[in-house]
Chains A and B, each alone.
Chain A
Amino acid sequence: MMLARVADSLYWIGRYIERAEHLCRISEVMLTATLDDNESATEVARIALAAIGDHEESEEILTPVEQVRNLLFDRDDLGSVGASLSRARENARQVRDQITTETWERLNILYLRVTGPYAEQEFAQSASTYLHGIIADLHLFKGAADATMSHGEGWRFLLLGVHLERAQRIARLLDVCFGDHAGPTPMTDHLAQMAVLRMACALEPYLRVYTAEIHPLYVLQYLLFDEDFPRSIRFSTARIQEYLDKLAPRSTVVSRAGPERLAGRLNARLEFADLDETLGASAILGAVVAECSRIHHAVYETFIDYPLEQRLPA
């Protein structure tokens, strides 16, 4: 039992943290890749910008570093890393009584690093060191939360946010590589595929499974269906189902589209998918994005923004 508003905040902390980490990682990979001046670099930059999403083509042509700077510090852009971390912290402040001091301090340090007076200067000195530092700090936050928070209801809402965000983001990344939003030519470039794996933090684990043989089908299979890799979509959907199963029985009213039922269905779809389905990747990727968003709404209806009339004592 916890306040609905608190569950809401914890859920969004999870989402914002995951979003910030994903954006930083894609940015870092893009900056490293574009040090070279070749076709792979162009392809990587296209993928990165497309995966980051809704950035309209700007009038002026920005260098990758400028683009990343905007992505990090642009205060007007609600999708920026700075905005995500500010909002995560703002949410954490509102539930300061619910998270441990250790966890709060990690998040507060991150916030001060990204919004502090020296942030842009540090970034200018070495963009990649800066991004690396932010990602490491985000890991510390997750580690502190894991090690100090009680793994109960609040924790589940936090991680529910993390995994819903992750599943949607990875699905989007795969979509711009292999799905409807892919480039005009099929992706075969070795370096570009390595970069995509890096963007999902998957290169090293992938190599252990498939060796250095990198093939679009394998990349797709790995990031969609792998059972153990924490950034594969199936791993996330399994967690989403697990957390919702634990959260659900506590709710007194079972709504028709209960989030745990939606999560179970999505997870089953990935668990029992035909590998050939990957040939038409866009269908399953589209389904992941759509189902995650339905789960999000169902979570709200069940736990957070429920109609009062249903819950009043008789």
Chain B
Amino acid sequence: MQNLRSLDSVDRFRIVETSRASLAPERYRPERFYDEMFAADGTVRPHYAALEERIATLTPAELGERQRTLEQSFLLQGITFTVYGAENTTERIIPTDLLPRIIPSAEWARIESGLTQRLRALNLFLADIYGAQKILADGIVPRDLVLGAPSYRREMRGLYVPHNSYVNVCGSDLIRDGQGEFAVLEDNLRVPSGVSYMLANRDAAKRTFPGTYRAAGVRPVERYPDLLLSTLKSLAGDWRPNPQVVVMTPGVYNSAYYEHAYLARLMGTPLVEGRDLVVHDNMVYMRTTEGLRRVDVIYRRVDDDFIDPLTFRRDSSLGVAGLFNAYRAGNVVIANAPGTGVADDKAVYAFVPEIIRYYLGEDAILPNVETYLCREAAQLDHVLGNLDKLVVKAVGASGGYGMLVGPHATQAERDDFADRLKADPSNYIAQPTIQLSTAPCLVEGAIEPRHVDLRPFILAGQKIVVTPGALTRVALKRGSLVVNSSQGGGSKDTWVLADGEQQP
């Protein structure tokens, strides 16, 4: 997700004072951005009508009370992430907003087919670049772009991957453009997280707005752990009658540890750390109270670099020595497969529409955000000429490093970046400043618009399944476009409505 960019858009919201005691949504009027609840003319979108009615009956105090109950229940359940400070270590809950974000069924249908199409193509792409490399030979994607990427794992060349499904769990980030159309901002194909918040938020929303929930006809997300387990089992189903699946975590100090334990608990599978596993004769075993027991499928939440010190980073103590050899021998399945990161690289991202066309002969259902590849001379010229309007990102970097936000940079910074661009153009891409849509959120007792994105979760084993729900991430600071939890982002439940059950 892009970090940064704190557009000061406060002035873009006209605050209408009201004398009503309840939280009147009239106060709330986003003007420029697409809003999830209100159309441009200020009327409530039909799929939000039931929620609007319900909110109107609640006083600010009642809403605040519900918000507190919600936060307390998260704290008690230990749905927290750990913040390591110099003085002491504290655990915080991820800020959670109680007003659900609602997506009508027609819109979801497009998202669902778009994501399915995209992941099918990306899995074919991965199978190809680790196999015959036809797409490179045909010159659709530049050879050096793929083979030169640090996330390309040559160790994966020619290996058997069940169902050719390299990416088994995907969490794409979608945003709405200014016209309200969904576009893919990023494909997370490595170890995407956040699904436990989707489930926990749903659990909370059902208790906060039970009546509205039932009346709206929301599609359930609770089957996710079950679907994940069957996806994982399907990877070893051909050669083991009842495969032993485990979830592998870096350990309790990982910020997503809660999620790892949560998924293991709901799937009923052991949660292992590297130190629980042993490789002997290219078989993977876990240490149990009764001795060693064979492991067949590892749903790993550890990055490629760290899974096996013999093959990847030698200083890793999180992994298991010999794991990759066992994988190469076909005695264990690692999900997601190592080396999937090359397909969510920022430069490869720009080629995804071409990739879809190449393998499937179809146009992409969900568009990309417009991206300029600085490696192409013509595009570089355009980027250099429009540095004050664009966001420039380094291909290999993430987390907001090596990035220029044109509209907010000084002329000196832009000049400096222009030099860097000219020196190493292939290391950079540029995108227009992104306009996230807004959704109503409860902030200090008032309902205000906040920017949101959408992270649905897609599973791919024998077949591809999109869970009808998502994690909606919220930038809690007014005007901010940063939704990352590490930088003050929160989340809210996402209701995908079933067909024909919508409120008028």
Where the two chains meet, the residues of A that have a C-beta atom closer than 8 Å to any C-beta of B are 1-7, 90, 93-98, 101, 104-105, 108-109, 112, 153, 157, 247, 250-253, 303-304, 306, 308, 311-313
Contacts and interface: CB of A to CB of B under 8 A. Distances in A.
A145 to B, nearest CB: 16
Given A97-B271, A101-B77, A3 B291 contact: no
Interface string B264-301: 11000011110110101101001111111100000000
Nearest to B82: A93
B78 A96 contact: yes
Contact of A105 (B76, B275, B291): B76
A303 B289 contact: yes
A250 B278 CA distance: 21
Nearest to B288: A1
Given A2-B270, A313-B280, A251 B265 contact: no
A104 B261 CA distance: 12
Contacts of B281: 313
B276 A5 contact: yes
Nearest to A100: B265
By CB atoms of chain B within 10 A, which of A7, A90, A93 has the most? Answer: A93
Nearest to A302: B289
A117 to B, nearest CB: 11
B292 A93 contact: no
Nearest to B260: A97
A96 B261 contact: yes
Nearest to B257: A93
26 contacts: A1-B288, A1-B290, A2-B288, A3-B286, A3-B288, A3-B289, A4-B287, A4-B288, A4-B289, A5-B287, A93-B78, A95-B271, A97-B261, A97-B265, A104-B77, A108-B76, A108-B78, A109-B76, A112-B75, A153-B289, A251-B291, A252-B291, A304-B289, A306-B291, A312-B292, A313-B292
B290 A90 contact: no
Contacts of A97: 261-262, 264-265, 270-271
B36 to A, nearest CB: 32
Contacts of A252: 290-291
B289 A90 contact: no
Nearest to B267: A97
B76 A93 contact: no
A112 B91 CA distance: 11
B215 interface: no
A225 B110 CA distance: 73
Nearest to B261: A96
A250 B265 contact: no
Contacts of A4: 276, 287-289
B252 interface: yes
A168 B14 CA distance: 70
A308 B290 CA distance: 12
Q: Is the interface of A mostly helix, strand, loop or mixed?
A: helix
Contacts, number: 80
Contact of A93 (B252, B275, B278, B288): B252
A3 B287 CA distance: 6
* B interface bracket (residues with beta carbon within 8 Å of A): 20 to 34
Nearest to A111: B78
Contacts of A303: 289
A313 B285 CA distance: 10
Contacts of B76: 105, 108-109
Interface in B287-332: 287-293
Nearest to B263: A97
Contacts of B270: 2-3, 6, 97
A247 B288 CA distance: 13
B302 to A, nearest CB: 16
Contact of B289 (A96, A98, A105, A250): A250
Nearest to A91: B252
B126 to A, nearest CB: 30
A90 B288 contact: no
Nearest to A107: B78
A104 B78 CA distance: 9
B290 A250 contact: yes
A312 B291 CA distance: 8
Interface string B358-377: 00000000000000000000
A247 B289 contact: yes
Nearest to A104: B78
Contacts of A101: 77
A7 B287 CA distance: 11
By CB atoms of chain A within 10 A, which of B252, B270, B287 has the most? Answer: B287
Contacts of A253: 291
Contacts of B264: 97
Contacts of A98: 265
Contacts of A304: 289
Contacts of A153: 289
Contacts of B75: 112
Given A1-B293, A3-B272, 5 more contacts: A1-B288, A3-B287, A3-B289, A108-B77, A250-B290
A96 B265 contact: yes
Interface string B227-252: 00000000000000000000000011
